[in-house]
A and B are shown apart, each in its own frame.
Chain A
Amino acid sequence: MTNPSFDFTNSFRDAALVKKVIEEIRRTVTRPWVLMEICGGQTHSIVRHGLDQLLPPEIELVHGPGCPVCVTPLEQIDRALAIASRPEVIFTSYGDMLRVPGSGRDLFSVKASGGDVRVVYSPLDALKIARENPQKQVVFFAIGFETTAPPNCMAVRQAQALGLDNFSVLVSHVRVPPAIRAILGSPANRVQGFLLAGHVCSVMGYWEYPPLAQQYRVPMVVTGFEPLDLVNGILETVKRLEAGIVEVANGYSRLVTFEGNSSAQKMISDTFMECDRAWRGIGVIPQSGWCLRPEYDLFNAEKRFDVAAIAPRESPLCVAGQIMQGLKKPHDCPAFGRECAPEHPLGATMVSSEGACAAYYKYGR
């Protein structure tokens, strides 16, 4: 960075810089546009900093399905609950999965009833627990988008290298490009431009997106998470919409390259394979998930524990699926803030801090 007064912790939140970009958006926009930020972390940042209040009225932001906690399907949660309840199991998970409701209970209630449920920050911590507890079966709930896939693969491969027979992962991975394809291919689609998820692209690059942009004639901009990143991503998308340019641009070049992290991508493709995946509230999107390759069956918790038959149904009140497709806003839901609140969520979008409903509730929209 050539400007010595620019620092990486504060300058991306600098009010004067953000307002300059907002002014440029105002000067650029001539008609209404609907943009979707794909990632839940971006939704959270937009609402936390009130960026939507600064935008001209022509620009509508709709919130995408990019919260991994929100989209993890009910059947995988119920399978997790069944596995975590077993006396021989230590069940490990990222923290915000603990509060996600399955059919009538969550991992917190399993823990309170005597299940050994532990919060970890990395699947490698789960691996360490497995090495320290050889008499126990240690299971890691491997959820997330492309961002969390490399460490999850790494844990499986290290377990294999160490010959651990008491470690397995319950995989519920999802991928961004098939979700974008499903949104754009829907007859009800309103989205005209995308802010792509910066952290996903730091792993995967953005080579997967130009064919999508061209097929559906929609510009896309790789976007970061700080206020300045977000308003800049919006500006670059609006510029292209106004000029009729369809392309994928990189607005997060301090972390993202076109190719991405090739060794991480190789590890993913060596460990995982594409599979159909149900997204909570949306339904099955073809080839939208990653599952373990058969050569890693030993580490597949779904195979190790007999849970495949668990196939439950959602609360009829919850409209999380339509919210995550950008068809509804959280306050369009009749249960929002009433039957459904962070203390007693009906759907996952109210649970995770990245969920659109939780963000609206927390920041009072």
Chain B
Amino acid sequence: MDIPDVTGAVCPVPLTHDEQIVMGHGSGGKMAADLIAKIFLPVFDNPALRAGDDGAVVELPAGRIAVSTDSHVVYPLFFPGGDIGRLAVCGTVNDVAMMGAQPAFLTAGFILEEGLALATLQRVAASMQAAAAEAGVQIISGDTKVVQRGKADGLYINTTGLGAVPPGRKLGGAQAQPGDAVLLSGSMGDHGIAVLAARGELGFETDVQSDCAPLNGLIADLLAACPAVHVLRDPTRGGVATTLNEIATQSATCITLFEKNLPVRPAVAAVCEMLGFDPLYVANEGKVLVILPRENADLALQVLRRSKYGADAALIGEVGQSPQGRVLMKTALGTTRVVDMLAGEMLPRIC
């Protein structure tokens, strides 16, 4: 009787799956712990995260706290001027900063698609940490879930930000007042056009870079120089036009824009002309709208222009009384028209 040769037989060791995400990475077990230990901890390293508990315990100054949360589902994950990681940090840092707070901490929730390359996740995490370091914030708590292949676009990131609001500071859309000036920290539409071009579906190439950037430094400088600021708002999806419509409604004022002063890069203007978009409705990720008493406008512009993220800052409009809740445009030809909110999805025109 033949006896099989068993020398050298071994129990098959499970694969470590260190090249791509598999369902086990979301199990909460050893693979999930490995993922945190190998990818997130070394990059985001800080005491609160290192403690490895269910939540982070951190110190914030006594008083009011600004909190903001944002989910990021951008496609493609990497685009000229940024990526989903940088966007996830900057988007939330900026939302906290817009409340006049100094952002200090972020949490990050990851939804990963089965099959995502670990190298991609590593690249995104490194980019998040670079943006967090630039903004001076720590990523103190996180969560990872894995969904089946085809149920997500690679990866989604939710971030929540915390920051202390200094005593006496009161910013918000309702604070805009007739007589205020409206400033914009730079050119419109760079992010939206950069992402659209990176999708490669529209058959054009451009060197437009996303403006994705943390603005808390610029805002801290601005508020130190001009504490009388009434409104800070970042014109992300829906663009400057939609954001200003929200502010006009909240404050029951009328905002008039000066077409001649609106900053738009020639390449963005050209792509918009071709595709039938209006830069006023295209997304930004590193710009701030500042509304403040007119007498502070010159000083505010000087402060904004000193920052690399505000070099092209411009006075783009003024706040008036009526018609309430409207945004108007004084055109380059001297005529006036209404600037409405974006109705639905931005659609390319036929001809």
**Interface residues, chain A, CB within 8 Å of chain B?**
9, 13, 15, 18-19, 41, 47-51, 53-54, 68-69, 94-99, 108, 119, 121-122, 125, 143-145, 147-148, 199, 227, 341-343, 352-354, 361-365
Closest to A345 in B: B343
Closest to A122 in B: B203
User: How far apart sit A41 and B335, CA to CA, in the bound complex (Å)?
Assistant: 19
The reply to whether A148 and B343 form a contact with Cβ atoms under 8 Å apart is no
The reply to whether B340 and A362 form a contact with Cβ atoms under 8 Å apart is yes
Closest to B269 in A: A9
Shortest 8 CB-CB contacts between residues of A and residues of B: A364-B338, A50-B335, A342-B343, A95-B348, A95-B347, A363-B337, A94-B350, A53-B335
B308 at the interface (CB under 8 A from A): no
Residues on A with beta carbons closer than 8 Å to the beta carbon of B151: none
Contact flags B174-207 to A (C-beta < 8 A → 1, else 0) = 0000000000000000000000000001110000
Residues on B with beta carbons closer than 8 Å to the beta carbon of A363: 337-338, 340
Contact flags B319-351 to A (C-beta < 8 A → 1, else 0) = 000000010100111111110100111011111
A-B contact pairs, 13 of them (CB 8 A): A9-B269, A15-B332, A19-B334, A50-B335, A50-B336, A54-B333, A54-B334, A148-B350, A199-B351, A227-B333, A343-B344, A354-B350, A365-B338
B340's partner among A145, A354, A364 (CB-CB below 8 A) is A364
B145 to chain A, nearest CB (A): 25
The reply to whether A51 and B203 form a contact with Cβ atoms under 8 Å apart is no
The reply to whether B276 and A353 form a contact with Cβ atoms under 8 Å apart is yes
Residues on A with beta carbons closer than 8 Å to the beta carbon of B335: 49-51, 53-54
Q: Which of B266, B276, B333, B345 has the most CB of A within 10 A?
A: B333
The reply to whether A362 and B338 form a contact with Cβ atoms under 8 Å apart is yes
B340 to chain A, nearest CB (A): 5
Given contacts A68-B350, A96-B350, contact A47 B337 (CB under 8 A): yes
Residues on A with beta carbons closer than 8 Å to the beta carbon of B340: 361-364
Residues on B with beta carbons closer than 8 Å to the beta carbon of A19: 333-334
The reply to whether B350 and A144 form a contact with Cβ atoms under 8 Å apart is yes
The reply to whether B333 and A94 form a contact with Cβ atoms under 8 Å apart is no
The reply to whether B332 and A143 form a contact with Cβ atoms under 8 Å apart is no
Residues on A with beta carbons closer than 8 Å to the beta carbon of B270: 9
User: How far apart sit A108 and B350, CA to CA, in the bound complex (Å)?
Assistant: 17
Residues on B with beta carbons closer than 8 Å to the beta carbon of A122: 203
Closest to A53 in B: B335
Residues on A with beta carbons closer than 8 Å to the beta carbon of B331: 48-50
Given contacts A125-B203, A343-B343, contact A94 B348 (CB under 8 A): yes
A94 to chain B, nearest CB (A): 4
**Which residues in window 188-234 of B have CB below 8 A to A?**
201-203
A69's partner among B336, B338, B350 (CB-CB below 8 A) is B350
Closest to A52 in B: B335
Given contacts A47-B337, A51-B335, contact A96 B349 (CB under 8 A): yes
